[in-house]
Structure 1
């Protein structure tokens, strides 16, 4: 029996994944006529997204997308996790799979720290003293 995935922010079943675009999949490096190299994306791989597991209560709804795939056409929603609320994901860079995975780990670490602060488990260190208070 496979365990159901749980929302990162609570214990409810996760029915959504964060759709914030971290980057575009790396295809290859090409060189233009002036000799400058640039990264080229590929359509063979899906976009790199955050993929934080979410319940409906913790997801920011951004809209619907119609996926036309012949007889398998369907609608899907765009939802963002609390770490990406209000952010814009246009202009995402081209990146390797390993870089996208590293960014996902950073988002999870930031979310864990924020949740710990909100729950009072870990307090932030006091701000450093002002210059006049040092002496």
Structure 2
């Protein structure tokens, strides 16, 4: 049997990275109860969300608000937090602490 490996350390992969990369762009008129969240002003379902999906092991994954992010995407998130995309210093500090603690 071919076991998928963590792309960061080579151990058996147990998770895929959930970091959002975009969405398919196909937005259907779904009943409100089926819509899961707002992404860039569009109500989309989880099936429409495109994620990083890098395979990784438990040790390389960082849980953040119920999602698992790979080391590469955690660095991306830190970059986003440190740029002007997040203008409020209060928001920036909150997110930095959340990423640091792996919440």
**Counterpart in the other structure of 1:12:** 11
Runs of 4 or more off by more than 4 Å in structure 1?
none
Q: 1:82, 1:44 → 2: CA distance?
A: 22
Structure with the greater alpha carbon radius of gyration: 1
Unaligned runs of 5+ in 2: 28-41, 81-103
2:96 counterpart of 1:82: no
| Mapped contact 1:24–1:41 kept (Cα < 8 A) | no
CA RMSD of aligned residues (A): 2.6
TM-score (norm. length: structure 1) = 0.40
SS in 2 for 1:22: strand
Q: Would you tell me which structure has more helix in proportion to its own residues?
A: 2
Relative contact order (C-alpha < 8 Å, sep 6+): which is higher?
Answer: 2
TM-score (norm. length: structure 2) = 0.51
Unaligned runs of 5+ in 1: 29-39, 65-77, 90-135
